[in-house]
Structure 1
Amino acid sequence: MSPARSLQQGTRYRVVVAATAAITVPALVTGCSVANSSHSDAASPDTLRIVLPQEPPTLEPCDASLTSTGVVVRSNITEPLVERNADTGDLEPRLADSWEQTAPTVWTFRIHPGVTFSDGSAFDAEDAAFSIDRTVNSTIGCDVDGYVFGDDELVVKAVDPTTVTVETQAADPILPLRISFVEMVPTTTSVDDKVRDPIGTGPYKVDYWDHGQRLSLVRNDTYWGTAPEYARAIYQWRTEGSVRAAMVLNAEAELATSLGPEDGAGDLGVAYPNNETTALRIDGTQAPLDDYRIREAIDLSVNRAGIVKALFQGLGEPAGQLVGSSIVGFDPDLESTPYSPDRAAQLVAEAKADGVPVDRQIRLIGRTGQFPKINETVEVIQNSLSKAGLDVKIEMMDTAGQLQYQVRPYPEGAGPMMLLIQHGNQAGDAQFTVDQYMRSDGYQSYFGTPGYDAQIDAAENTVGEARQAEFAKVIANEPKEVRQFAYIAHMNGVLAKSPTVSYAPNSATGDEMRLSEMTHADAPANG
């Protein structure tokens, strides 16, 4: 971890990323809840009741790149300077009206005037500079820090109340895309701890959070933009998809997320491409996983087609890469690894004959409720790996527990392990995937090679059509150069929606579910 530093006061900020800052989610979760059983989740025409697969681990805005946090926080409580259109991939204004590259290493953002936070204070360039600094420089371990900024150095300056400049060490053609992940907070926000009750400029603010029970957002009546239709949103969480679906069918909720086709949503189920890819991430730093043959055997043991057909009921497709089709760098001709259990067993036997300790137990870690049929998925994978000659133990964890193994710094003495991940590139450019998942020191990477890191560097320095081609090469080379992953499937999402609500989910819905896009349906129709 980088040594603790105090933020400079005034208009100039020196930003140095703490890429290995510790995650303090468990402590935050225990401290951010106010138990109050008197709160009601009774039906009301002005209230949206939403049921999620798990409770958000935090409402900290700088952790909004975490799916389970962003689905509540992003564009509801807080907003960024710039946002990406999920349908077109274009960057659009939000709290910044415009942005331009004013020097080879400098981008200038013009702040929208007249914006206020939910506490009534004005939002200006000082807040914007502070928010960027807090996200990438503080020692509180922001997920956006590792996910978006890597080891970059920035110099951020509030030039005047409506102008912010961001200077990079080298020319960065996608800096505005990076900045779109930074949620704006006031300068009064703590720089020493993550916040339990975030203040933002969004259309909603936190009303109450009964830890373990429900979380309520209430309309921000001083919102600078168009007022949303619903006065309140109440989030609850249920692990079982069938229970979530039944709550909508029984008019106990208006929306239920992360459903499977077998969960019984019926005519109220809405399928959509959710831009998520599931994969096994393999820690190749410890035996027996440090042997390339063992990692190849694991890859060959995954019956992707069978998992998609039998467990996901066709909602998805076998994956041969970590990015989806809407991402710069996706190669439509890249095929998934063929299912070959015999070859997998042969590779394990060869490694064993050479002294590789293939009998050493390997931990297979999954996150409860991460996607429908996750328990069955890990069981199928464990069974296939056992047939190949490997000893694999399943460990299912909640979000806070799994995060310890998902992001750096990883627990010491954890032993050989594989992590079942689900990655949705929210930014639209493969750089955000390879930087965090494939670099040797990536925020969510176990290992890599200097040669492969150099390939990533070369791709990141290209623009236009060349950028697409270079990243496609990088992604295609990962199994040859490193083989840290066994890709499983590009996923589709399903949500249940009451006929009283009009809402069209898109590829960003799993990461950012905007309440302002939800309106009262004119007629009892699902659409």
Structure 2
Amino acid sequence: MRSVAISGSPGYRNVVEFLIGRDFRGDNSIVPELATSWERVDDRTIRFYLREGVTFHDGSPLNAEGAAQVINYVMSEELNSDLLDFVGAPMSAVAVDEYTIDVSTPDPDPILLSKMYFVAITSAKQLNEAIDTYDTNLIGTGPYQFVEWNAGQGINYTANPDWWGHANPEAARGSVTVENLHYVFRAEEQVRASMVAAGEANIGVWLSSEQCADLGGCAVAPSVETIFIRPDTHGPMFSDIRVREAFHLAFDTEGIVDTILAGEATFAAQICNATCTGHDPALVPYPYDPDRSVELLAAAAADGVPVDMEINLAAREAVFPRSEEVIQAVQAMLPEVGFSVSTNFYDPETFGQMVVQNWKDVRRIATW
């Protein structure tokens, strides 16, 4: 299996594959996956040379024409998928020959190659013949293939006997050692820990340090995800830089890490961690300075900024162990410097729909 530290990726990236991957066991550099090599044609275009002899789980072959169709579909403005917002400027693809594909952007894009890590190559046959199943039935080229999805309960996968990586595990960066996989969805970390303790599950994720101490055999590794609070900088309060700085200074982040999270977290200075394109090692975290926070809010209020507006903090449930306790601590700290705040918790699906689909209606809130 390819096990990578992104929520959902062990299930997703073991079913669908991408033109490029990353060397998670090494230096996180870009490595070949469905493309064996690539080259810059000009400042807007990268040419990829596809791996030959690869088949999708539906039996259709990987080729440049199909890959281009999929890229153009998922990156189309008509589809308006989340991916389009995530990678920024639109891109398009065209087949050069059977196993060569050009991917281009309207304007020069120096990080186009990095963006291709997020663009999955799924079955063009599915797009053409069964597009109504596209969102619920993953068809890729990966080491595991989709069997069944029970919404809110779990997903089943089985090993793909025709995976190209069986014959070349070094290039595939992994091998298949488990025949069947069953991902069970359990939001409560105590339930996940209990399932492992009872032998009902082989692996439990996102467990607390106390649960790991009881169970033994836990592995701890950095995540590529940075958890952050996103205030509405377009609203009348957070559009003022003094209010935003006061917001930063109001959090005793180190105290939260040391107490609630038992030291098992890193105080981030930016959204991009050290493995991320755009990381700036010179940035340092804001200090905890509630007195300065009070001063900044008072100065903003004196200039007519409505600093007494209530902050509606929308938070995801079970983002990581004890995430609810962290939000409760944040909610307690903000009023100490003069902010008014309320908190609402949402399950991940509801939260995602609210933020992505109805963002214009909820922009005045802060999201976690």
* Superposed CA RMSD: 2.5
Does residue 286 of the first structure (1) align with residue 227 of the second (2)? no
- 2:294 is paired with a residue of what secondary structure? helix
2:54 maps to 115
* Structure that is richer in strand per residue: 1
Change (3 A) 1:275 1:180: closer
Residue of structure 2 aligned with 1:196, choices 136, 147, 170 = 136
Does residue 91 of the first structure (1) align with residue 40 of the second (2)? no
Change (3 A) 1:66 1:93: closer
| TM-score between the two structures when normalised by the length of structure 1 | 0.63
**Shift in Å, 1:140:** 3.4
Does residue 241 of the first structure (1) align with residue 189 of the second (2)? yes
Change (3 A) 1:357 1:107: closer
**Shift in Å, 1:268:** 1.8
- 1:225 is paired with a residue of what secondary structure? helix
Q: Could you tell me the percent identity over the aligned residues?
A: 32
Q: Is the 8 A contact 2:89 2:105 kept in 1?
A: no
Counterpart CA distance in 2 for 1:207 and 1:170 is: 41
Q: Is the 8 A contact 1:385 1:391 kept in 2?
A: yes
Q: Is the 8 A contact 2:15 2:138 kept in 1?
A: yes
Q: Deviations over 1:36-92 (max 9, x none)?
A: xxxxxxxxxxxx9x9xxxxxxxxxxxxxx9954434211x11100111112312221
Q: Is the 8 A contact 1:405 1:411 kept in 2?
A: no
1:177 maps to 114
- 2:123 is paired with a residue of what secondary structure? coil
Q: Deviations over 1:309-335 (max 9, x none)?
A: 011111122222222123354344432
Change (3 A) 1:332 1:395: same
1:165 maps to 102
Counterpart CA distance in 2 for 1:151 and 1:66 is: 26
2:203 maps to 255
1:345 maps to 294
1:77 maps to 15
- 2:226 is paired with a residue of what secondary structure? strand
**Shift in Å, 1:145:** 2.0
Counterpart CA distance in 1 for 2:61 and 2:127 is: 18
2:177 maps to 229
- 1:384 is paired with a residue of what secondary structure? helix
- 1:179 is paired with a residue of what secondary structure? helix
Q: Is the 8 A contact 2:237 2:306 kept in 1?
A: yes
Counterpart CA distance in 2 for 1:330 and 1:105 is: 23
Counterpart CA distance in 2 for 1:301 and 1:283 is: 17
- 1:199 is paired with a residue of what secondary structure? coil
Q: Is the 8 A contact 2:243 2:297 kept in 1?
A: yes
Which runs of 5 or more structure 1 residues have no equivalent in the other structure? 1-47, 51-64, 421-527
1:358 maps to 307
Which runs of 5 or more structure 2 residues have no equivalent in the other structure? 167-174
1:217 maps to 157
Deviation above 4 Å: which 4+ runs of structure 1?
65-69, 191-194
| TM-score between the two structures when normalised by the length of structure 2 | 0.88
Amino acid aligned to 1:100: E
- 1:281 is paired with a residue of what secondary structure? coil
**Shift in Å, 1:363:** 0.7
Return the structure number with greater relative CO, CA threshold 8 A, min gap 6. 1
Change (3 A) 1:259 1:140: farther
**Shift in Å, 1:265:** 4.9
Counterpart CA distance in 1 for 2:277 and 2:306 is: 40
